[in-house]
Amino acid sequence: MNRHKVTAPGGRCVEVGAHVRFEARTWQASGLVDGRVHLAADDRATGCVLAAHLVAADGFEALGQAAPQIPAATVWAALQLPARERAMAWWDAQAQAEQW
């Protein structure tokens, strides 16, 4: 199982950061650990459900992926060059790791 994405037969899937509808409520997937999806709602409610149960549930719907959190240009420009270079190296390494 991918640490960032769960896919069930039929193509139903959920990724970390995705917004989903489950049990008549909107949640954001905050983590995937040992076959379980950790969920968080806007009202600070949390939940944990087996990934297979989540994607197979009646009424499950993947609503979309959360927008990536990219720092504002002014914050980015305020960083010293070595810090920006480390951040970009980490960003590239993360993107490559997700492709595996």
Same domain? For 77 and 61 the reply is no
User: What type of residue sits at position 72?
Assistant: A
Domain that holds residue 86: 70-100
Same domain? For 41 and 80 the reply is no
- Residue 46: per-residue pLDDT: 92
Strand order in the sheet with 46-50: 46-50, 36-40, 25-33, 18-22, 61-65
- Residue 40: per-residue pLDDT: 92
Question: How many structural domains does the chain have?
Answer: 2
Same domain? For 54 and 22 the reply is yes
- Ranges of residues in the chain with a pLDDT under 50 are 1-2
- Residue 51: per-residue pLDDT: 85
Same domain? For 79 and 54 the reply is no
- Residue 48: per-residue pLDDT: 93
Same domain? For 16 and 59 the reply is yes
Query: What pTM was computed for the model?
Result: 0.57
Q: Is the dihedral of CA 16, 38, 25, 28 positive or negative?
A: negative
- Residue 49: per-residue pLDDT: 92
